[in-house]
Structure formats: C-alpha cells, structure tokens
Amino acid sequence: MFNIVFLAETLLKSIALGLVFDYGSYLREGWNQLDFFIVATSMLDMALSGRIDMEVLKILRLLRALRPLRVISHNVAMKMIVSALIESIGSIFNVMVVVVMVWLMFAILAINMFNGKSFYCSINTYKYHTKLECNDNGGSWLTHDSNYDDVPGAMMSLFIISTLEGWPDIMI
C-alpha cells in the first residue's frame, strides 16, 4: 500500500511536470531523481518478490533503507541543509588533512620523547619497574595498548586524547 501511494505521487508529478525533455521536468531535479530511483527499485522488488529467488535481488530489498530519504525531497528546509552539508564536504576534507598533519607532527615528537616507555609488568604493575625484575618474579613484560612506539600507535593515542574518549586509560 505504501509503495502504491509513492508510485501514484511519482506518476502524477511526472505527468504534471513532464518526464525528462522540458526545462522544468520531473527528472531534471536531483531530488526527484532520487525519488524516482527509490520508487522504481521498490516496485521492482515488489514485482519480483516471491516469484524469483536470486541472491542479486536481495540488493533491491537493501535499497528499502533509502525510503526515509524521500522525506528530504518534500521538505524545503531539509533540502537546503542537506545540500549545504554535501557542498561543505570538500572544506571538511581540507580541515581533516590539516588536523592529520598536526597530529603527525605531534606523533613524531611523542615517539622521540616516549618511545619504549609504555611497558608494564603483568603481575604487579607498580612494584616491578624493569623487564628483568618482572621476568625474575614470573611476570610478563607487556606494552600498553596506547603507546608511542610507532607512528600508527602514536596517532591513535593522540586521537583518543584529543576526542576525550578513554583518555584516563592513557594517562596512567
């Protein structure tokens, strides 16, 4: 029933505006193209469900998740917000590159300062401070998950600290 309403709406819009050829026709706007794609795949899925059982057709059922996007095409304010977000992706990417470069500089500095100093003894962390003491008493000399021994580990540690999520575990 839900798909029939969408199909009727799409058909009426395409008849009223024209399908493709005129300047202001239905499929000339990106949001209407999205609507048409969602409705067409939903109708194809409904037509083939139960008749043909192929693994490839399960993708059509997966495209049902796009149905909430139809709400965007009917709300002008939401169209404007989503369009602004899509247009700002390039600027956001530029900021991310700068942040990664700054993290890389601090990761290299942290590797130079703290390399090899993120170890602990498995049996008594605060009593045994060297690998020899730990091994002599039956413990294992381990490294913390967040460490500054290599660039990926240092970058991950800096990410954890900068997002303030789980930073108390690093600040032992």
- Does residue 68 share a domain with residue 8? yes
What 3-state class would DSSP assign to 31? helix
Domain that holds residue 155: 109-170
Do 9 and 82 sit in the same domain of this protein?
A: yes
Look at residue 21 and tell me if it is in a domain.
yes
Say what the pTM is: 0.55
Q: Which of 94-98, 138-142, 145-149, 166-170 reaches the highest mean pLDDT?
A: 94-98
Q: Concatenate the DSSP letters of all residues of 84-131 into one string.
A: HHHHTHHHHHHHHHHHHHHHHHHHHHHHHHHTT--EEESS-TTT--SH
Domain identity same for 11 and 69: yes
Tell whether 96 is covered by a domain. no
How far is 159 from 153, CA to CA, in rounded Å? 10
> Which amino acid is present at 21?
F
Strand partners, 142: 120
Residues 6 and 83 in one domain: yes
- Residue-wise pLDDT for 124-153, tens only, equals 878 888 888 888 888 888 888 888 888 998
Is 154 within the bounds of a domain?
yes
Q: Are residues 81 and 139 in the same domain?
A: no
**What pLDDT digit, counting tens, does each position of 38-87 carry?**
878 877 777 777 777 677 777 777 777 777 777 777 788 888 898 899 89
Say if 102 falls within a structural domain.
no
Q: Which of 57, 87, 117 is the last residue of a domain?
A: 87
Identify whether residues 78 and 124 lie together within a single domain.
Answer: no
